[in-house]
Amino acid sequence: MRDQLTAPRRMLPAEPPPDVVHGPRMAVARGRLASGVAWLALLGFSAIFGIVRARRSDALDLALTLKLQRRRHPRFARLMTIVSWPGFPPQSRLIPPVLTGLLVALRLRLEALFLVGAWGSALVATVAKATMRRPRPVADDTLAVVVAPLGGSSFPSGHVLSYVGLYGFAAYLATVLVRPVALRRLLVGGLLALVGLVGPSRIHQGHHWFTDVTASYLLGTSYVIGLAALYRRIAARRVHVRP
């Protein structure tokens, strides 16, 4: 009995600020997504991969690129440039660690770890590029290509895939964790707007074809859903809730 009374207490993990984020139970309850969507997205990516490899999308890609590039309004072009900016180095290598550090500062260590995993979508893009090795668009009398520090092949779009992975998963975390409604809407809306606009920006700047962008959205969606499912399982075990 005496040993039981004098035994040291087990230290519990620090909880995040209650006025900023939901508790783990609410995060798990609100975080469920259908795994079927991930499989459909993966099948869609595989289909586009096969079409592009067979060179059956060239005419469609060129037509859609030229159609989007006809929008020459200065404000629209400026918006497309701003949206693509976070995906170029050095900022593309600085923003993810900053976001991860912010989660650690909020005592959301598990979420910080998974955000690093979401950043891994950039590595997935690198591997896929090495497999396909599709040439990028080349400027001519009709097709415009904005000068930028580009690397790798065209398929898939590294910008889009990394945005869906990093900012898409960050939007998921904001949805399931952030308590204040106004703040949650601001964060999720801003992050999803960035993800949604980066695809058109890559086409408008002449750095990628339509199928490059579409394939990246599909593969990135599958990646984020799978990562979110793994996060829910681990979070559920921590709070003894069946996912």
What 3-state class would DSSP assign to 55? coil
SS (H, E, C) 113-173: HHHHHHHCHHHHHHHHHHHHCCCCCCCCCCCCCCCCCCCCCCCCCHHHHHHHHHHHHHHHH
Give the CA radius of gyration of the chain: 21
Give the C-alpha separation, 160 to 213, whole Å: 6
Give the mean model confidence (pLDDT) for residues 128-139: 90
In DSSP terms, which residues pair with 178 in a beta bridge? 21
* Phi-psi sector, 17: left (phi>0), alpha (psi -120 to 50), beta: beta
Reference 168, options 187, 192, 152, 149; nearest CA is 192
pLDDT at 2: 42
pTM greater than the 0.85 cutoff = no
Give the C-alpha separation, 163 to 195, whole Å: 6
pLDDT at 23: 54
On the question of pLDDT at 203 being above 70, the answer is yes
Average pLDDT value over all residues in the chain: 85
Handedness of CA 35, 41, 46, 49 (dihedral sign): negative
What's the CA angle centered on 105, arms 194 and 172, to 5 degrees?
35
Lowest mean pLDDT among 27-31, 51-55, 68-72, 237-241: 27-31
208-234 pLDDT, tens digit per residue, is 999 999 999 999 999 999 999 899 888
On the question of pLDDT at 3 being above 60, the answer is no
Angle between helices 74-84 and 181-204 (to 10 degrees): 110
35-71 pLDDT, tens digit per residue, is 788 889 999 999 999 999 999 999 999 999 999 988 8
